[in-house]
């Protein structure tokens, strides 16, 4: 009888501990979960990636710089350079297309994306959770490809899930 009582108390205690653990895990908000997971994915340092994504016939290159501390993205900088004009895509870049209103609008949207995507990555901490902005898919594709290039060197050696 005494053994049965001890067994009941042990099982009850185990249930309480498991319940508390599950409740605590559910209390963590999404950024904390992402940060906890990222600690195991990336090593600390400054990483740079450069890519033109699938736009191989165009003179535009995305350049991203990512600072990682304690496995978390702390700074993300992104630019798109026109290698033929040696200029950076920004609000003023549309002047090159002033005779084509469609291209002017496209430049404005992509310039907005260039400024927004790094902020989104800092918030989400995972490139696959960053969505393209409407009208700025071109700059998003270049951003994502550049980030993936930078992160190739940021993975911890013990991480066997190094897929992009």
Which CATH number does the domain housing residue 81 bear? 3.90.1010.20
What CA–CA distance (Å, rounded) separates 64 from 50?
A: 7
Residues 16 and 56 in one domain: no
Mean pLDDT value of segment 34-53: 77
Residues 62 and 125 in one domain: yes
pLDDT exceeds 50 at position 39: no
Residues 57 and 102 in one domain: yes
Helices 101-124 & 137-151, crossing angle to 10 degrees?
Answer: 40
Structurally, the chain folds into a number of domains equal to 2
Sign for the CA dihedral angle at 39, 41, 44, 46 comes to negative
pLDDT exceeds 80 at position 162: no
Residues 26 and 46 in one domain: no
Quick check: is 123 in a domain? yes
Q: Which is more confident, 159 or 111?
A: 111
Rg (CA), the chain: 23
Residues 64 and 128 in one domain: yes
Quick check: is 162 in a domain? no
Residues 13 and 84 in one domain: no
- pLDDT for the residue numbered 103: 87
pLDDT exceeds 50 at position 3: yes
State which residues form the domain around 15.
2-35
105: left (phi > 0), else alpha (psi -120 to 50), else beta?
alpha
Residues 113 and 83 in one domain: yes
Residues 51 and 102 in one domain: yes
pLDDT confidence tier of residue 49, bands split at 50, 70 and 90: very high
Question: How many whole angstroms from its chain centre is CA 108?
Answer: 23
What CA–CA distance (Å, rounded) separates 154 from 141?
A: 20
What CA–CA distance (Å, rounded) separates 118 from 99?
A: 31
Quick check: is 54 in a domain? yes
Residues 54 and 135 in one domain: yes
């Amino acid at each position: 009888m005494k053994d049965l009582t001890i067994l009941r108390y042990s099982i009850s205690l185990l249930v309480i501990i498991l319940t508390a653990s599950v409740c605590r895990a559910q209390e963590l908000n999404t950024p904390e979960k992402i940060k906890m997971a990222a600690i195991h994915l990336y090593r600390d340092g400054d990483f740079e990636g450069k890519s033109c994504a699938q736009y191989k016939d165009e003179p535009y290159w995305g350049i991203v710089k990512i600072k990682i501390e304690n496995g978390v993205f702390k700074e993300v900088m992104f630019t798109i350079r026109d290698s033929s004009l040696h200029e950076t895509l920004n609000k003023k870049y549309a002047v090159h297309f002033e005779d084509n209103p469609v291209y002017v609008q496209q430049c404005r949207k992509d310039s907005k994306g260039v400024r927004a995507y790094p902020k989104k990555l800092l918030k989400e901490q995972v490139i696959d959770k960053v969505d393209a902005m409407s009208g700025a898919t071109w700059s998003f594709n270049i951003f994502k490809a550049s980030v993936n290039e930078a992160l190739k060197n940021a993975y911890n050696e013990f991480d066997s899930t190094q897929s992009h």
